[in-house]
Amino acid sequence: MTGDAIRYATAGTAIGDVLLAGRTGATGLRICYASLAGTAGLARLQDFAERAFGGAEVVADEPALECAVRELVEYGAGRRREFDLDLELVGSDFELCVWAELQRIPYGETRTYGQVAEGLGDSGASRAVGRANGRNPVPVVVPCHRVVARNGIGGFTGGLEHKHRLLELERVHARRGQRLLLG
């Protein structure tokens, strides 16, 4: 195994079966891929490894990803609203800007594709935002599910059922957190 290998783990969570992958480097583990398809996402991870990292070896390594998987389990249980994971995102400059903007959307809230485009300073880029959203390699961690169409739910690479489930989970737990604060 080389240091450039992509290590992955799978786990059952309240948000579904997840596959989480990362690369280990000088600064530790950096998450580069997530899927809500569990082990079925392994073929897509291998395709991603080929495109993004020139065919880096893909190896199962549950211990290396234990802390990262725990964060997803906590998120699914409503005990975590933000992730403390180092990320290694691979995309175009525009995609990286979109993904950074997505990380500013608060837990339990949504934005339209147009609002995300406006946040980037280009109100006419809503379709490009949608494409970048669809290419997000780490859904949930980079919360692309929080972006909706102006007149509906929009799409989600993990499937609309997962998008509905994630938005409902956040809505319920955000409301519960507000009640605790208001006492």
pLDDT in tens, 120-143: 999 999 999 999 999 999 999 999
Residues of the chain with pLDDT > 70, as a percent, come to: 95
Evaluate if residue 108 carries a pLDDT over 70: yes
Q: Is the pLDDT of residue 22 over 70?
A: yes
**3-state secondary structure (DSSP) of residue 14:** coil
The pLDDT assigned to 3 comes to 54
Q: Among 163, 140, 145, 157, which residue's Cα sits nearest to residue 68? A: 140
Over range 9-22, report the average pLDDT.
93
Q: What average pLDDT score do residues 40-51 get? A: 93
pLDDT-above-90 percentage for the chain? 75
pLDDT at 2: 47
How far is residue 102 from each of residues 2, 51, 58, 92, measured CA to CA in Å?
32, 23, 28, 15
Active-site annotation, residues = 144
What is the DSSP pairing of strand 16-25 with strand 6-13? Answer: antiparallel
Within the chain, where are the H helices?
42-53, 66-76, 93-102, 113-119, 126-134, 160-182
Domain range 93-182, its CATH number among 3.20.20.60, 3.40.640.10, 3.30.300.130, 1.10.10.10: 1.10.10.10
Is residue 69 within 8 A of residue 20, CB to CB? The reply is: yes
Strands 147-148 and 16-25: unpaired
CA dist., res. 162 & res. 142, Å (int): 15
Confidence check: pLDDT of 181 > 50 = no
- Summarised one tens digit per residue, pLDDT across range 53-84 is 998 899 999 999 999 999 999 999 999 999 99
Query: In whole numbers, what is the pLDDT of the chain averaged over residues?
Result: 91
Please tell me the predicted confidence (pLDDT) of residue 1: 40
pLDDT at res. 17: 92
Report whether pLDDT(44) > 90: yes
Q: Chain centroid to CA 109: how far?
A: 15
pLDDT at 66: 95
Name the residue with higher pLDDT: 169 or 177: 169
For residue 89, how far is the Cα from the chain centroid? Answer: 11
pLDDT at position 103 is 97
Instruction: Please check the confidence at residue 4 and state whether its pLDDT lies above 90.
Output: no
Task: Encode 118-135 in three state secondary structure.
Answer: HHCCCCCCHHHHHHHHHC
pLDDT reading at 148 higher than 90: yes
